[in-house]
Chains A and B, each alone.
Chain A
């Protein structure tokens, strides 16, 4: 199938430093001195041996990407990776330095909500103005006006100048307009972090609907949790280049771990090279999802399996697997070992490969990135035979809609290093 967006070798450079001096007088003075063959009085002294020339910063370099109809893409990357530049080029706010982007269908971009709102105009007038700025015709806005007003929940204030609105109302109105754009392709910057909680949830839901109606969405966010919730695919930018692109979970995991170089599965196929000593050596460490497949991203409401495989060489000792679960702040959530299995703990050992699996129950971990330290040790005396810090890492994603422990809270700031789903007893005092 041919793509709906074809990005071919897009590069964008910015000039740093002096291009023009910025005032006409100085430029004319420089010109007048050049005409007479005199040195330029505005040339910077520290580089007088060089022609006045700015440095060039490449914000994007040879970025290529093909996007199919109906795909929801996340654009991720650290600050300065070129995310916003790519978005600006796609939105036609600025032009690329080289390369070409071809698009099928109408593009609407949302780099900000409420662009062009005028405080003196009423809510209704601003809906029309903002709609037109975003590329809708008057007739289109008129057709959707009732829907927009209903979505914004501002029916009573719709003929009030927006300068009398609270900031929450303002944002609600602005997002209502944006949510009703019906372009084939929607380019969105981080505009979801607005409004009150209930409205945030409504926006997230609306964004999901957009992705599900066959519309193509490009979405930039610093918030990985939002990206993994909304997108199927992602492109990871690093210093203006494409570091990776593909399925969102894989990219999200890479992004979370690009400093660590670890994934959800680590294997040491060669016994000689594996971490460990004469008693035990690690063979593999992996994170498995509910389907028992290695996964970097796991759902909060599904069990998570941490599996450690090791070569056992002893019969006299009883080695045990120990894991530490560490969150992105470096906090060890818990440590556990397979002595928890009393039967295994007491049984005699024989040489061979041992597979030890820990089950983390559903609705226990918090949302976020986690690292696993895996070790094999024996006790009395306490000896660590094999250990790998940050052996694997994974992300827990909370896609629940009211059924998880955060309930209907849709934001990303639900606190806690764990997010257990607990039993609550609730009753009336007088019953």
Chain B
């Protein structure tokens, strides 16, 4: 909302919304302390209110992984590129969870924060950005758990081999954060007008997981339909993650580049829509 006032010494110019390309990144940076405090608040609030606290972050992927192992591994017998099923599914769930949480938890930004947004101005983007950072904490716990399980399998001589691609982990995280944030803010902008979109989000993310090689390796996809799965920007990320730890699966700079490009465009579009909506959404909520 704050346009940097170029003209003679005005610090702030309030004008009707016009244009789509104002991203207000400088404004966002100025409020970085607030983002930090939101992260802290979310952390404290989440863990003070639950009995098990951070343990939830371990229980949830553990149960999911167990279920996947039984249903898709034992019953359906889906191949896992020779990787032990348990650790294969766990890798998939761990990465997917971060993305899914980023998306769903940012997708209700406007509705969930209407009270505070109606009373005080700060760059609204601070809220979804802090959510993405908060989720990193949950990811760190889940990732630590995954590493422990992985180490166990590795020590027992399972055919898993970490390689240099592990160094790409921060990049993968950034890409997932960007994708989750991009989709999340677009959905949150649309939900100010279409409330029923909210219901779709949980369900949509669930379906999306099956369109991503989380419970199956990309290599099982026939050439004919492979492009469909590759078109999904999450595919390269999940595949690269597993490649880094297991040495199996598809690693392709082109696929990764595609995901990165997709993420950047999506994020720019998302922020533009979000910034546009944030100026007047109080009138419609």
Contact of B120 among A20, A91, A104, A106 (CB under 8 A): A91
- A101-126: CB near B (< 8 Å → 1, else 0) gives 11111110101100110101100010
CB-CB under 8 A from A79, the residues of chain B are: none
Contact A23 B194 (CB under 8 A): yes
Whose C-beta in chain B lies nearest to the C-beta of A101?
B14
Contact B119 A92 (CB under 8 A): no
Contact A22 to B13, CB < 8 A, known contacts A132-B31, A133-B116, A133-B122: no
Say if the beta carbon of A138 comes within 8 Å of chain B. Answer: yes
Q: In the complex, which residues 123-154 of chain A have their Cβ closer than 8 Å to any Cβ of chain B?
A: 125, 128-129, 132-135, 137-138
Contact A106 B11 (CB under 8 A): yes
Say if the beta carbon of A256 comes within 8 Å of chain B. Answer: no
CB-CB under 8 A from A328, the residues of chain B are: none
Say if the beta carbon of A25 comes within 8 Å of chain B. Answer: yes
Contact A92 to B284, CB < 8 A, known contacts A22-B194, A24-B194, A132-B33: no
CB-CB under 8 A from A336, the residues of chain B are: none
CB-CB under 8 A from A133, the residues of chain B are: 34, 116, 120, 122
CB-CB under 8 A from B193, the residues of chain A are: 20, 22
Contact B34 A132 (CB under 8 A): yes
Contact B119 A132 (CB under 8 A): no
Say if the beta carbon of B140 comes within 8 Å of chain A. Answer: no
Q: How far is the CA of A20 from the CA of B193 in the complex (A)?
A: 7
Contact A25 to B196, CB < 8 A, known contacts A90-B14, A95-B16: yes
**What's the nearest-Cβ distance from chain A to residue B170, in Å?**
26
**What's the nearest-Cβ distance from chain B to residue A100, in Å?**
5
Say if the beta carbon of A31 comes within 8 Å of chain B. Answer: no
Contact B120 A103 (CB under 8 A): no
Say if the beta carbon of A408 comes within 8 Å of chain B. Answer: no
Say if the beta carbon of B253 comes within 8 Å of chain A. Answer: no
Contact of B10 among A103, A135, A161 (CB under 8 A): A103
Contact of B14 among A100, A116, A118, A137 (CB under 8 A): A100
Contact A104 to B44, CB < 8 A, known contacts A24-B196, A92-B121, A95-B280: no
Contact A94 to B116, CB < 8 A, known contacts A23-B196, A25-B196, A100-B13: no
Say if the beta carbon of B148 comes within 8 Å of chain A. Answer: no
- A257-301: CB near B (< 8 Å → 1, else 0) gives 000000000000000000000000000000000000000000000
**What's the nearest-Cβ distance from chain B to residue A160, in Å?**
13
Q: In the complex, which residues 371-427 of chain A have their Cβ closer than 8 Å to any Cβ of chain B?
A: none
Name the residue in A91, A92, A97, A103 with the highest tally of chain B Cβ atoms < 10 Å from its Cβ: A92
Contact of A125 among B13, B16, B40 (CB under 8 A): B40
Q: How far is the CA of A302 from the CA of B144 in the complex (A)?
A: 76
CB-CB under 8 A from B36, the residues of chain A are: 138
Say if the beta carbon of A32 comes within 8 Å of chain B. Answer: no
Contact of B282 among A20, A27, A94 (CB under 8 A): A94
Contact B15 A88 (CB under 8 A): no
Contact B9 A104 (CB under 8 A): yes
Q: In the complex, which residues 35-61 of chain B have their Cβ closer than 8 Å to any Cβ of chain A?
A: 36-38, 40-41, 44-45, 48-49
Contact A109 B121 (CB under 8 A): yes
Contact A109 B120 (CB under 8 A): yes
Contact of B37 among A92, A101, A103, A128 (CB under 8 A): A128
Q: In the complex, which residues 169-194 of chain B have their Cβ closer than 8 Å to any Cβ of chain A?
A: 193-194
Q: How far is the CA of A99 from the CA of B17 in the complex (A)?
A: 11
Whose C-beta in chain B lies nearest to the C-beta of A126?
B41
Contact of A118 among B41, B119, B120, B196 (CB under 8 A): B41
**What's the nearest-Cβ distance from chain A to residue B115, in Å?**
8
Say if the beta carbon of B12 comes within 8 Å of chain A. Answer: yes
Contact of B33 among A95, A96, A105, A137 (CB under 8 A): A137
CB-CB under 8 A from A92, the residues of chain B are: 1-2, 14, 121
**What's the nearest-Cβ distance from chain B to residue A428, in Å?**
51
- A70-97: CB near B (< 8 Å → 1, else 0) gives 0000000000000000001111111111
Contact of B119 among A106, A107, A111 (CB under 8 A): A111
Q: How far is the CA of A115 from the CA of B44 in the complex (A)?
A: 18
Contact A107 B279 (CB under 8 A): no
**What's the nearest-Cβ distance from chain A to residue B259, in Å?**
28
Q: How far is the CA of A134 from the CA of B17 in the complex (A)?
A: 23
- B133-164: CB near A (< 8 Å → 1, else 0) gives 00000000000000000000000000000000
CB-CB under 8 A from A115, the residues of chain B are: 116, 119-120
Contact A95 to B279, CB < 8 A, known contacts A19-B284, A89-B14: yes
Say if the beta carbon of A14 comes within 8 Å of chain B. Answer: yes
Name the residue in A15, A107, A116, A129 with the highest tally of chain B Cβ atoms < 10 Å from its Cβ: A116
**What's the nearest-Cβ distance from chain B to residue A47, in Å?**
21
Say if the beta carbon of A223 comes within 8 Å of chain B. Answer: no
Contact B15 A96 (CB under 8 A): yes
**What's the nearest-Cβ distance from chain A to residue B233, in Å?**
24
Say if the beta carbon of B223 comes within 8 Å of chain A. Answer: no
CB-CB under 8 A from B48, the residues of chain A are: 120, 161
Whose C-beta in chain B lies nearest to the C-beta of A95?
B279
Q: How far is the CA of A102 from the CA of B14 in the complex (A)?
A: 6
CB-CB under 8 A from B280, the residues of chain A are: 94-95
Say if the beta carbon of B5 comes within 8 Å of chain A. Answer: yes
- List 11 interface pairs A-B (beta carbons < 8 Å), by A numbering: A14-B283, A93-B119, A93-B121, A95-B280, A100-B14, A101-B12, A102-B5, A102-B14, A115-B116, A121-B45, A161-B48
B interface list, Cβ under 8 A from A:
1-2, 5, 9-17, 31, 33-34, 36-38, 40-41, 44-45, 48-49, 116-122, 193-197, 279-280, 282-284
- Among all A-B residue pairs, the 8 with the closest Cβ atoms: A92-B121, A132-B34, A95-B279, A101-B14, A24-B194, A103-B12, A102-B10, A138-B33
Q: A95-B14, A120-B48 are in contact. List 9 more A-B contacts (CB 8 A).
A: A23-B195, A93-B119, A96-B16, A98-B16, A99-B15, A109-B120, A115-B116, A115-B120, A118-B41
A interface list, Cβ under 8 A from B:
14-15, 19-20, 22-25, 27, 88-107, 109, 111-112, 115-116, 118, 120-121, 125, 128-129, 132-135, 137-138, 161
